[in-house]
Structures are given as C-alpha cells and as structure tokens.
C-alpha cells in the first residue's frame, strides 16, 4: 500500500505529492487530468514570484517538479469510490483498487457555465470566471457580471474599482446576494443591476468579446449590451459527486476540512478548490496541499503500521 495517496493532479495535489515524497514515504498521485484547471488558463499574473506565465507552462513545471521525486503518477485515471473500512481504499474507473495508509483528496472544482452560444469560443478572450485573476485585464473597459448572488455582487464591487463600468445581469426578479453587499453595490456610481435578464448569446469580432445579448424576461424583448468582458459568477461546482454519502460535505458540496486539512474521516485529508477553504486560487491550493501532506505525515507517525 501507499503511505499517502493523492487524488487529483492540480496545484493542490502536485504540492501535496512533493511535500509527502520529501518525507521519504511511499507516495502516489491519481489524476483524471494532470494540471487541472491550470491547463485551461491562458495568462497567470498572480502566482507570486513569477510575474507572468501561462497555464500549460506552469503545469509542465509542476509535472517536472513532481517527477523529480519518487512519486507514482497515475495520469488519466479517475477515482470513483473512497472507502475507509479496511485502511483507506480508492477505487478507479478501470476497476483497480488502490490501498493507502492515508489519502489526500484534491479533486478541485469547475465553474458553472452559462451554456450559451459564444461562451466557449470566447472563453479566455473576454469570457472570464475569476475576477481576482482577470479583473485587471479590463482596466478602463465596460464589463458584465452574470449572476446576482454573493459571488456575482462581490465580483461587481471588486471590478467596479478597476474597470469603467459594470452591468450585473440576474436571471431572477431579485438579487440573492446579502443585503450589505447589495447596498454597497448600489452605492457605487458605476454599477448597474438588471434583473429578470436571461443571457442568450456572447458575441465578438472573432478575436475578442464585444458584447452579449440578453432577453428581458418581463417583456420578452431582446437587448444588446456592449462589453469587453463577461464575468460568469453562477457557481463553482466541487468535484465531489463520487464522494457523496462517504464524507462530510458542506451545503455547496465542498469537503469540510479543519485548519489542518483533516476531513470527517480518519486518515483522509483534503486540499484546494474541492474543500471549504475560502478563496479558490492556485497559490492557496498549493499552500493547502502542503498543509494536507504535513498533516497526513503527522497522522502516519502516530498510527502503528498494521
């Protein structure tokens, strides 16, 4: 069996693998797609000490760093079941069962998409999901935020300090965001909020986003909104479908962890976007991965080998 088996090969999993392997313990990492969300990222400007890089480049560096240690990297393998009856066991889609003395879950998350024409075409070319990451790219421009929940209104307030103007489009009749956030947004001179707005299409000039079409659900009229950027804030979905019923999850489906990365199951730790950690960022996921690995090591030295 492994001493530490990591499920997930994004920044959290890669960092956990390096920290575990450096303890000289048997370390494995199973990843559906090594690199995770970073593979889909064009430009990264907030990975501290690296002024600017691109996702696939950072992933290549991560892989090189992981493989410089004695780590079993099982790429293109999906975990489908976790059980803790008999040590910790992770079942893969191909039927294999991996045994380990401890497990670190780092399966990440994905942004909920609008699923409208143009969204995929202009992803990374004006369609964005992370205001902390891409906000500064739209300095002095007009943007839209899709979604009037807490993350949408937080994004609007954040962006309003950088960009020229923000239009929030909310599908429902009222915003779902906390009252205090709504008040703050309404107090800012450059945020407009439109409710009952259903986004129907992202449009662009072939290179970049130039605007979007939305339907006013009250009148059924279609409108054109000219914007350079569209921040989609309709939810982040943690990749925990395969864990439901086996481990404590939050109401949003995130794995509940404490400050050491411990989950509700003994010997099982978690890190990164899949967890209840506030703020989902590369540097935060890496820090969390190292925390989980050190906690797993601490668990191992206190647990007799059976």
Mind telling me the catalytic residues? 130, 133-134
User: Which own/partner pairs from 113-117 qualify as long-range (CB within 8 Å, at least 24 positions apart)?
Assistant: 113/232, 114/146, 114/199, 114/202, 114/232, 114/234, 116/199, 116/200, 116/201, 116/202, 117/200, 117/201, 117/202
Q: Mark residues 29-68: x for contact with ligand FAD by CB under 6 A, - for none.
A: -xxxxx-xxx-xx--x-x----------------------
Residue in the block written with tokens 């949408």: 152
Give the footprint of ligand FAD on residues 232-261 (CB under 6 A).
239, 242
Question: Does residue number 108 form part of the binding site for ligand FAD (CB under 6 A)?
Answer: yes
DSSP secondary structure code for residue 217 in this structure: T
Least distance in Å: CB of 217 to ligand FAD? 28
Residue 229, phi-psi category: left (phi > 0), alpha (psi -120 to 50), beta (remainder) = beta
In the complex, residue closest to ligand FAD by CB: 108
Backbone angles phi, psi at 260, to 5 degrees: -100, 0
Note whether 129 binds ligand FAD by CB under 6 A.
yes
First to last CA, the chain: 11
In the set 25, 130, 265, 268, which binds ligand FAD (CB under 6 A)? 130
In terms of CB distance, is 156 or 285 closer to ligand FAD? 285
CB of 34 to ligand FAD, least distance (A): 6
Strands (DSSP E) contained in the chain are 2-7, 27-31, 43-44, 53-54, 71-75, 79-83, 88-92, 97-105, 109-111, 127-128, 142-146, 165-169, 191-194, 197-204, 209-216, 221-226, 229-232, 236-238, 268-270
Q: Encoding tokens for residue 302?
A: 């206190």
Q: Does residue 6 have a known ligand-binding role? A: yes
Q: Which of 5, 6, 9, 227 binds ligand FAD (CB under 6 A)?
A: 9
Shortest CB 195 distance to ligand FAD, Å: 27
Contact mark string toward ligand FAD, 258..297, x via CB under 6 A: --------------xxx-----xxxx-x------------
Residue stretches of the annotated binding site for NAD(+): 142-156
Residue stretches of the annotated binding site for FAD: 3-18, 263-273
Which residues make up the interface to ligand FAD (CB under 6 A)?
7-13, 30-34, 36-38, 40-41, 44, 46, 78-79, 106-109, 111, 129-130, 133, 239, 242, 272-274, 280-283, 285
């Amino acid at each position: 069996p492994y001493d530490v088996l990591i499920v997930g090969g994004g920044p959290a999993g890669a960092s956990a693998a390096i920290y575990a392997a450096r303890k000289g313990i048997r370390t494995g990492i199973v990843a559906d797609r090594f690199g995770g969300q970073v593979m889909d990222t064009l430009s990264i400007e907030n990975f501290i000490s690296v002024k600017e890089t691109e996702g696939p480049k950072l992933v290549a560096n991560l892989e090189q760093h992981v493989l410089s240690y004695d780590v079993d990297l099982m790429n293109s393998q999906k975990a489908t079941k976790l059980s803790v009856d008999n040590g910790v066991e992770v079942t893969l889609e191909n039927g294999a069962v991996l045994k380990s003395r401890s497990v670190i879950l780092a399966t990440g998350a994905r942004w909920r998409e609008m699923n409208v024409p143009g969204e995929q075409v202009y992803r990374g070319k004006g369609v964005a999901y992370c205001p902390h990451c891409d906000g500064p790219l739209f300095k002095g421009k007009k943007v839209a935020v899709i979604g009037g929940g807490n993350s949408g209104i937080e994004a609007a307030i954040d962006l309003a300090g950088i960009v020229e103007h923000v239009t929030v489009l909310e599908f429902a009749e009222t915003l779902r965001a906390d009252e205090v956030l709504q008040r703050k947004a309404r107090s800012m001179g450059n945020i407009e909020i439109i409710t009952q707005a259903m986004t129907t299409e992202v449009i662009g000039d072939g290179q970049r986003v130039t605007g979007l079409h939305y339907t006013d659900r009250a009148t059924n009229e279609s409108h054109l909104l000219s914007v350079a950027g569209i921040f989609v804030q309709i939810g982040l979905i943690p990749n925990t479908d395969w864990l439901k019923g086996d481990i404590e999850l939050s109401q949003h489906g995130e794995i509940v962890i404490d400050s050491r990365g411990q989950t509700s199951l003994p010997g099982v730790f978690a890190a990164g976007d899949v967890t209840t950690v506030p703020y989902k960022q590369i540097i935060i996921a890496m820090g969390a991965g190292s925390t989980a690995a050190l906690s797993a090591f601490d668990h191992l030295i206190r647990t007799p080998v059976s």
